[in-house]
């Protein structure tokens, strides 16, 4: 993470003081580096797990490694990964968004319906409509959470219900089929861009953008500050002068907009959309974020880690199918992974805390 | 908001101790339960307007028995939410219990043996949740999202996608039947007995007071000598057992055991608890309020289902709006009162953040989508 290094110790009158200070600084930064490494280790650990799954599955069933199968795997992950990026921003502020699955369903249908009825309009207009619908739903969530002071769990549980109901009302029992959709839209969903499937390009761009913004920009760091300043909705961050309500609302808007984008991607990839589209996605998205190291208590985790979490979960899903392991194990394994991930996080945090305490004690006795 | 008031919803719904007859009347009128009661009356009025079938014994029987499992799940959830935690895995425990029941019945075990095994399995599920939350100190929201998938997955592992339907008629008849010639289903009678026990435990015993104490302030509860972890562990185990019981009832009522039963039940149960006036942050709430909320939700569902012109999906929309409104309403009322109080003292209320001076935010401002 981008923690600034400690300023150099002021030069003391004697020769001894600066030496101790320098040593101390070296120790402190060693501790920092250790923590830094732990955080990076999360992403590294996920990559190791991913490599293991791919290699083991590939050895047992070489079909898994052919280009087409890998492409299908990554395509399946793309939609979840895009939504996970938005969810990460929301969870980092110590909130949660359970409504993303319903937003996906609503926007996927409206987008598909619009393109079906207006085949002459270029398809990006449909995508924009989906994103705008998602952003509007996200704005509703954000305003209720910040201005209405209603806990995010309650708000998004409510909008999850209500928006699914709206999706059912809008669809009115209809279903959109692939043959109704303009070909250009479907080609965009299954086609390539510079040799890479378009949906994957979109996912990579979204992940890179929000990873970068959350990691290196003040806007992103403020989200972390809000999430780590206590139960009371970022009180410390507020007192420090952050516009925490506005940041939280923006995080919800982004999460909604990305769920809307996920809806457009869903319509383009599958071609078949009804009112139940995206049901249960909220738990898959939250699960991916949690496996990817985003702490549900807010204040820590990265968009990149969360995206890797989505890739790991998606790959396991495909690997199980390829290995012909009973489909039924899939959900149990996902659940187990979520629990192991958060338990590991906790143990590592405890250990590094103990280690740092030990070091600071040693430093004190040395001084 | 520029005020420094805590963001937790104002615990406006707790009955305050009345001082005189006049203020007692006011207190009753201002109570959350009274508001729900009024809404129930409204729903029943509209319901009987929609269809003459609404206020019949038959409709009461089917309407209430369809709501049995939500109602039963809501009871232990009330206690857990009152301590400030949450259990999202209840519906998955319900499914696990149903699948286990079907599997064991296929194996030829007698019902008298199966039911205790299912309840023990539920207790073990609760024990796992509780140990992860209290032993490892993990957030209950994350833990139970994980076990929601885990237990549901295990249900599928046990029974696959088959379903078992050949349960003994003695049991299914009881679950489907009414209590001693009345229009009240047996399962609802069981629920009412459970609700009475839960109400006594929560409102009349030291254990219940400990639950509210933990929800109000965990640290303070621990420093005043309460075994916070042990109490929470017990609540999670209780939640597992009761969810398993709900699974048994659902299986018998439909005389079908399957791994996919009860998907999403946890959300309706939580909605009832929150609508019933239990703060999601813990510390306040009553079993009576939850009971009324269950009646309200059940009534709405039944009423909307009776009208062929109203799409059944309005139920989702109405539930969602009620859920948010139940917390938003009191918050806004509290804010209006606060503003009036400040006004009457002659000072201007603090201006909301949105009308403040232009953003003074640093660097990355331009990257926001809003």
Query: 3-class DSSP state for residue B185?
Result: strand
- Does some domain include residue B178? yes
- In terms of C-beta density within 10 A (0-12 exposed, 13-18 middle, 19 or more buried), how is residue B309 classed? exposed
- Does some domain include residue B59? no
A157 and B271 within 8 Å at the Cβ level: the answer is yes
pLDDT tens, residue by residue, B285-309: 999 999 999 999 988 888 888 777 7
Alpha carbons A251 and A88: distance in angstroms, whole number: 9
A335 and B156 within 8 Å at the Cβ level: the answer is no
- Looking at the complex, report in whole angstroms how far the Cα of residue B282 sits from the nearest Cα belonging to chain A: 12
Beta-strand relationship, A192-193 and A196-197 = antiparallel
* Structural domain range at position B170: 64-292
Q: Is the Cβ of B163 closer than 8 Å to some Cβ of chain A?
A: no
- Kindly state the percentage of chain A with pLDDT values over 70: 87
Q: Which two tokens stand for residue A55?
A: 């290699």
**String of b and e for B200-224 (b: at least 16 CB within 10 Å)?**
ebbeeeeebebbbbbbbebeebeee
Is residue B355 over pLDDT 50? no
- Does some domain include residue B152? yes
What pLDDT does A234 receive?
59
Is residue B141 over pLDDT 80? yes
Alpha carbons A22 and A19: distance in angstroms, whole number: 5
- Interface predicted TM-score (ipTM) of this complex, two decimals: 0.78
Q: What chain B residue is nearest to A282 in terms of C-alpha separation?
A: B145
What is the number of domains present in chain B? 1
Enumerate residues 6+ apart whose C-beta is below 8 A from B174. Answer: B186, B252
Q: Quick one: average pLDDT of A190-197?
A: 76
Is residue A195 over pLDDT 80? no
Model confidence at A23, in pLDDT bands (50, 70, 90)?
low
Q: Quick one: average pLDDT of B115-140?
A: 95
Q: What chain B residue is nearest to A170 in terms of C-alpha separation?
A: B313
Largest Cα span, chain A: 83
Q: Is the Cβ of B20 closer than 8 Å to some Cβ of chain A?
A: no
Alpha carbons A297 and A230: distance in angstroms, whole number: 9
A245, A79 Cβ separation under 8 angstroms: no
Is residue A331 over pLDDT 50? yes
Q: Which residue has the higher pLDDT, A272 or B13?
A: A272
A296 and B141 within 8 Å at the Cβ level: the answer is yes
Is residue B1 over pLDDT 50? no
User: Cβ of B27: how many Cβ atoms within 10 Å?
Assistant: 15
Q: Which two tokens stand for residue A2?
A: 């981008």
SS3 of B96-156: the string is HHHHHHHHHHHCCCCHHHHHHHHHHHHHHHHHHHHHHHHHCCCCHHHHHHHHHHHHHHHHH
- Does some domain include residue B230? yes
- Pairs across A and B, CB distance < 8 A: 209
A149, A95 Cβ separation under 8 angstroms: no
A1, A40 Cβ separation under 8 angstroms: no
Q: Quick one: average pLDDT of A6-35?
A: 55
- Does some domain include residue B341? no
Which of A149, A160, A287 is opposite residue B7, by nearest beta carbon?
Answer: A149
- Does some domain include residue B57? no
Residues of B in contact with A157 (CB under 8 A): 267, 270-271, 320, 323
Q: Quick one: average pLDDT of B85-113?
A: 93
A162 and B321 within 8 Å at the Cβ level: the answer is yes
Model confidence at A57, in pLDDT bands (50, 70, 90)?
confident
B contact test, residue of A90, A134, A148 with most B CBs within 10 A: A148
**Alpha carbon separation from A232 to A245, B9, B25, B134 (Å, rounded):** 12, 10, 34, 22
- Does some domain include residue B52? no
Model confidence at B272, in pLDDT bands (50, 70, 90)?
very high
Residue with token string 């420093």: B223
Is residue A103 over pLDDT 90? yes
- Looking at the complex, report in whole angstroms how far the Cα of residue B355 sits from the nearest Cα belonging to chain A: 12
Angle at A81 between CA A48 and CA A288, to 5 degrees: 60
- Looking at the complex, report in whole angstroms how far the Cα of residue A297 sits from the nearest Cα belonging to chain B: 7
Q: Outline where chain A has alpha helix (H).
A: 16-60, 67-92, 100-117, 124-146, 152-171, 183-190, 198-216, 218-227, 235-239, 244-270, 281-291, 303-322, 329-366
B249, B239 Cβ separation under 8 angstroms: no
What pLDDT does A18 receive?
60
B361, A219 Cβ separation under 8 angstroms: yes
What pLDDT does B370 receive?
30
A168 and B153 within 8 Å at the Cβ level: the answer is no
Torsion angles phi and psi, residue B185, rounded to 5? -65, 150
Alpha carbons A304 and A365: distance in angstroms, whole number: 40
Enumerate residues 6+ apart whose C-beta is below 8 A from B155. Answer: B92, B95, B96, B98, B99, B100, B259, B260
- Does some domain include residue B7? no
């Amino acid at each position: 993470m981008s923690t600034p290094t400690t300023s150099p110790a002021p030069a003391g009158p004697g020769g001894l003081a600066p030496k101790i200070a320098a040593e101390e600084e070296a120790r402190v930064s060693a501790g920092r580096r250790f923590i830094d490494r732990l955080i990076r280790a999360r992403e590294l650990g996920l990559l190791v797990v991913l490599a293991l799954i791919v290699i083991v599955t590939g050895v047992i069933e070489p079909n898994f490694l052919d280009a087409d199968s890998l492409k299908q795997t990554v395509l399946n992950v793309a939609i979840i990964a895009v939504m996970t990026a938005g969810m990460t921003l929301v969870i980092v502020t110590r909130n949660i968004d359970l409504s993303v699955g319903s937003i996906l369903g609503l926007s996927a249908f409206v987008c598909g319906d619009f393109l079906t009825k207006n085949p002459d309009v270029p398809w990006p207009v449909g995508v924009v409509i989906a994103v705008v619908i998602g952003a509007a739903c996200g704005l509703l969530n954000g305003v209720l959470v910040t201005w209405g002071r209603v806990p995010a769990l309650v708000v998004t549980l409510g909008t999850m219900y209500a928006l699914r109901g709206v999706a059912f009302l809008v669809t009115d029992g209809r279903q959109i089929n692939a043959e109704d959709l303009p070909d250009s839209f479907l080609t965009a969903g299954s086609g390539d861009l510079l040799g890479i499937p378009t949906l994957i390009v979109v996912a990579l761009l979204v992940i890179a953008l929000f990873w970068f913004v959350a990691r290196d920009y003040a806007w992103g760091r403020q989200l972390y500050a809000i999430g780590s300043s206590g139960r009371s909705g970022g009180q410390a961050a507020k007192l420090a002068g952050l516009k925490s309500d506005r940041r939280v609302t923006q995080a919800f808007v982004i999460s909604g907009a990305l769920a809307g984008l996920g809806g457009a991607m869903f319509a383009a990839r599958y071609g078949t959309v009804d009112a139940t589209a995206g049901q249960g996605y909220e738990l898959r998205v939250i699960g991916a974020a949690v496996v990817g190291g985003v702490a549900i208590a807010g204040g820590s985790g990265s968009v990149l880690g969360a995206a890797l979490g989505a890739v790991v979960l998606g790959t396991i899903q495909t690997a199980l199918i390829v290995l012909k392991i009973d489909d039924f194990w899939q959900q149990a394994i996902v659940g187990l992974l979520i629990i192991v991930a958060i338990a590991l996080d906790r143990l590592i945090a405890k250990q590094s805390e103990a280690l740092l305490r030990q070091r600071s004690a040693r430093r004190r006795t040395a001084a | 908001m520029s005020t420094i008031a805590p963001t937790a919803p104002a615990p406006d719904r707790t009955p305050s101790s009345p001082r005189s007859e006049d203020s007692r009347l006011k207190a009753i009128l201002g109570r959350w339960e009274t508001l729900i009661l009024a809404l129930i009356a409204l729903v029943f009025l509209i319901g009987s307007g929609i269809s003459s079938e609404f206020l019949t014994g038959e409709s009461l029987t089917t309407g209430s028995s369809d709501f049995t499992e939500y109602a039963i799940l809501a009871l232990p959830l009330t206690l857990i939410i009152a301590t400030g935690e949450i259990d999202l895995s209840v519906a998955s425990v319900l499914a696990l219990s149903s699948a286990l029941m079907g599997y064991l019945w296929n194996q030829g075990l007698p019902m008298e043996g199966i039911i205790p095994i299912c309840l023990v399995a539920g207790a073990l599920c609760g024990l796992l949740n509780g140990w992860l939350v209290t032993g490892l100190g993990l957030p209950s929201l994350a833990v139970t999202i994980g076990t929601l998938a885990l237990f549901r997955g295990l249900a599928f592992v046990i029974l696959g996608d088959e379903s078992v339907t050949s349960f003994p008629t003695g049991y299914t008849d009881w679950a489907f039947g009414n209590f001693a010639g009345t229009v009240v289903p047996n399962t609802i009678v069981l629920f009412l007995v459970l609700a009475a026990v839960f109400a006594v435990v929560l409102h009349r015993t030291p254990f219940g007071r400990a639950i509210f104490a933990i929800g109000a302030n965990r640290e303070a509860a621990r420093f005043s000598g309460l075994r916070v972890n042990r109490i929470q562990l017990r609540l999670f185990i209780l939640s597992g057992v009761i969810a398993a019981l709900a699974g048994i009832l659902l299986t018998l009522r439909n005389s079908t055991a399957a791994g996919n039963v009860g998907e999403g039940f946890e959300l309706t149960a939580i909605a009832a608890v929150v609508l019933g006036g239990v703060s999601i942050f813990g510390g306040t709430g009553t079993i009576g309020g939850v009971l009324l909320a269950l009646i309200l939700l059940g009534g709405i569902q039944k009423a909307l289902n009776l009208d062929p012109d109203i799409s059944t999906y309005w139920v989702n929309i109405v539930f969602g709006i009620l859920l948010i409104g139940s917390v938003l309403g009191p918050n806004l009322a509290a804010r209006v009162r606060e503003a009036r109080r400040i006004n009457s003292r002659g000072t201007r209320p603090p201006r909301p953040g949105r009308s403040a001076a232009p953003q003074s935010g640093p660097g990355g401002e331009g990257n926001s989508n809003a």
